[in-house]
Amino acid sequence: MQAVKAGTGSIFVMSSHVVSGQVGLKATMPALRALGHETVTLPTTLLSAHPAAFPAQGAPAGGPMPPERMVEIADWLLAAGALDNCTAILTGYLPSAAHIDAAAQIIAKIKALHGDVIYCCDPICGDDGRLYLPEEVMHGLRDRLLPMADLASPNLFELQMLAGRDGFADEFEVVDAARDLGVAHIIVTSAPAPAERVAALAIGDDVLRCETAKAPKAPYGMGDFFAALYLGLYLAEEPKALGIACATLGQMAAANLETQTLPHGPVQLAAAAIQDKLNI
């Protein structure tokens, strides 16, 4: 098991919640707790399961949390002192432009009280060449939330849409697009890689690249888990954060090929995969 300095403080997470399954909040919480962080969670939507988990049953029951209720709950938490120990904020699935507006209001209020809080935006809006949320959500992520973010974790398609690119010829163009977003530190998942391999880029003052074996089909919730795990490692100032996060996900995917779900037990961090520094 990889040894990482234990985290301190709580992390406030706004994302989806499912009753059955390990996606959204139920994927982020184990990752952050493995690093010693308390999680304070606010659902943006409540569903019976991931939409693809039980296809024969049709669309899952449930729906979005009213955006005004999100603000109401966050205001109560702030007034009660429940966020006094907040060191970071993470946003994931936000189903509408109104939810993005609510999240922006909440982030601004927390940052007004805790000026050094780190905000990580996981700009969930699409994958595999298509947007699966309305286009105004992507615009809201780009125009409202990314300017507030200290850290962001788009996949390659989300980066393409957020940066207004037609595609990427190579890693140089990926790094250029990421830097155009104006966020100090960006992790790009599903970066260009050979067949049967998967890569991620960490783009800040330096550019790091990590490549691991690709699972035939990744369990649902891997993106949520990765964003949370990397945030926790980043807060711990772990120099091998990218390598640990990529290796841990690869290990979990390989161990759960049959169930296609993230494990319910404690998270075991893997030894760091090799991180290459790119001269970009």
Domains of the chain, CATH where assigned = 10-50+62-278 (3.40.1190.20)
* 8-state DSSP, 216: S
pTM of the entire predicted model: 0.94
Q: Residue 260: its pLDDT value, please?
A: 62
> pLDDT digits over 159-198, tens only?
999 999 999 999 999 999 999 999 999 999 999 999 889 9
Q: Residue 61: its pLDDT value, please?
A: 96
Name the band, by pLDDT with cuts 50, 70 and 90, for residue 64.
very high
Q: What percentage of the chain carries pLDDT values higher than 90?
A: 79
Q: Residue 220: its pLDDT value, please?
A: 83
Outline where 114-166 has alpha helix (H).
135-140, 156-163
CA distance 71 to 66: 9
1 pLDDT more than 60: no
> pLDDT digits over 97-154, tens only?
999 999 999 999 999 999 899 999 999 999 989 999 999 999 999 999 999 999 999 9
Between the alpha carbon of residue 196 and those of residues 8, 162, 199, 211, 214, the distances in Å are 37, 26, 10, 10, 5
What residue type is 162 in one-letter code? Answer: L
